[in-house]
């Protein structure tokens, strides 16, 4: 346990600028997690799709539609 704490402290000391920017800017992986969640939901609902190409096209369509909505707003 103590070895892990020491390793984290050393890492934090060497990259304080990056940690500070990450905390101040609020940068996260929210967008990626949201995309993954949408794909997983589609995967559950799309059990009956005939092949992978059709499933892939549905994912691309879903995200292209989302981008169009953001461009309009």
Q: Where are the alpha helices (DSSP H) in 1-73?
A: 2-14, 16-25, 30-45, 52-72
State mean pLDDT over 5-28: 78
Are residues 42 and 58 in contact, defined by beta-carbon separation less than 8 angstroms?
yes
Give me the mean pLDDT over the 14-29 stretch.
75
**39 or 65, higher pLDDT:** 39
Determine contact, residues 11/35, Cβ cutoff 8 Å.
Answer: no
Residue 1 confidence (pLDDT): 67
Asked if pLDDT for residue 64 goes beyond 80, the answer is: yes
Task: For residue 73, count CB atoms less than 10 angstroms from its CB and return exposed for 0-12, middle for 13-18, buried for 19 or more.
Answer: exposed
Give the C-alpha separation, 43 to 29, whole Å: 21
- Assess whether pLDDT exceeds 70 at residue 73: no
For residues 19 and 52, the model is more confident at: 52
């Amino acid at each position: 346990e103590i070895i892990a704490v020491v390793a984290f402290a050393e890492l934090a000391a060497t990259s304080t600028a990056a940690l500070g920017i990450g905390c101040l800017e609020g940068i996260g992986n929210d967008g990626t997690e949201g995309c993954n969640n949408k794909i997983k939901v589609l995967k559950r609902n799309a059990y009956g799709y005939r092949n992978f190409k059709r499933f892939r096209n549905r994912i691309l369509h879903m995200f292209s539609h989302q981008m169009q909505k953001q461009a309009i707003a």
